[in-house]
Amino acid sequence: MSYIFVHGLGQNSSNWKETIDGLDIATNIECPDLFDLYIGELNYNNLYRRFSEYCDKFTEPLDICGLSLGGMLALNYAIDNPNKVHSLVLIGTQYSIPKKLMKLQNIIFKLMPEKYFSKIGISKKNIISLTISMMDLNFENDLEKITCPVLIVCGEKDIANEKASKKLKNLLNTSTLKLIQNAGHEVNKDNPKQLSDELNKFFDW
């Protein structure tokens, strides 16, 4: 079994370090840097294709844990490859993009300095291009294809994603929902200890 941890928009693989340090296993853990995978124009379809190719190289079943954008990629992959995915952890993940929220996020991105984006290895132009390409994503009609165990995680302060997390719990028959205390959207940064504890219980090493 291989465990793949997929970071969110505005993060990189290093943001999983504290969470992974708290896990009861130390092998077969992979943390790809998403923005090192894509080639050419950065849009969702391009990024998902590269992420799929990355996952396809593993011959064994996968346990995929994704946050936000990483959660959407993991969800997409599980829908397309239900026999390959052993379990899913979806943190602060939308199954249908709320357009108003995404437009607001784009406005914020446009106001942020370029140097912020250089820290995560991606340009402001590419971030905005990616978010625009995600506007029409909606996986609701395909969720029935997922049969593996799913842990849905949301920070108790993540107001923007709590409603979607609860709805996703109702749409996925094999899922459970956990709210993480003292955490906003970036649960892996805000409360990695409790996140590790929940993952240890869910994965049942």
Among 74, 79, 85, 65, which residue's Cα sits nearest to residue 151? 65
| Per-residue confidence (pLDDT) for residue 90, from 0 to 100 | 98
Q: Amino acid identity, residue 57?
A: K
Q: Amino acid identity, residue 191?
A: N
| Per-residue confidence (pLDDT) for residue 174, from 0 to 100 | 94
- Contact at 8 Å (CB) between 156 and 183? yes
The model carries a pTM of 0.93
| Per-residue confidence (pLDDT) for residue 175, from 0 to 100 | 97
- Contact at 8 Å (CB) between 168 and 75? no
| Per-residue confidence (pLDDT) for residue 101, from 0 to 100 | 79
| Per-residue confidence (pLDDT) for residue 1, from 0 to 100 | 84
Residue 21, C-beta contacts closer than 8 angstroms, at least 6 positions apart: 192, 196
Rounded to the nearest angstrom, the gap between the alpha carbon of residue 150 and the centroid of all alpha carbons in its chain is 13
CATH architecture of the domain formed by 2-96+138-203: 3-Layer(aba) Sandwich (3.40)
| Per-residue confidence (pLDDT) for residue 149, from 0 to 100 | 97
Q: Is the dihedral of CA 8, 64, 174, 83 positive or negative?
A: positive
| Residues present in the chain in total | 205
pLDDT averaged per 10 residues in sequence order, the chain, 205 residues? 93 95 89 88 93 96 97 98 97 92 82 79 85 94 96 96 96 96 97 97 81
Among 188, 153, 175, which residue's Cα sits nearest to residue 16? 188
Residue 3, C-beta contacts closer than 8 angstroms, at least 6 positions apart: 25, 28, 29, 30, 62, 63, 64, 65, 203
Half-sphere exposure of 28 (CA within 13 A, CB side): 13
| Per-residue confidence (pLDDT) for residue 49, from 0 to 100 | 95
| Per-residue confidence (pLDDT) for residue 87, from 0 to 100 | 97
How many other β-carbons are positioned within 10 Å of the β-carbon of residue 66? Answer: 27
How many other β-carbons are positioned within 10 Å of the β-carbon of residue 172? Answer: 22
DSSP for 69-121 reads HHHHHHHHHHHH-TTTEEEEEEES--SB--HHHHHHHHHHHHHS-HHHHHTTT
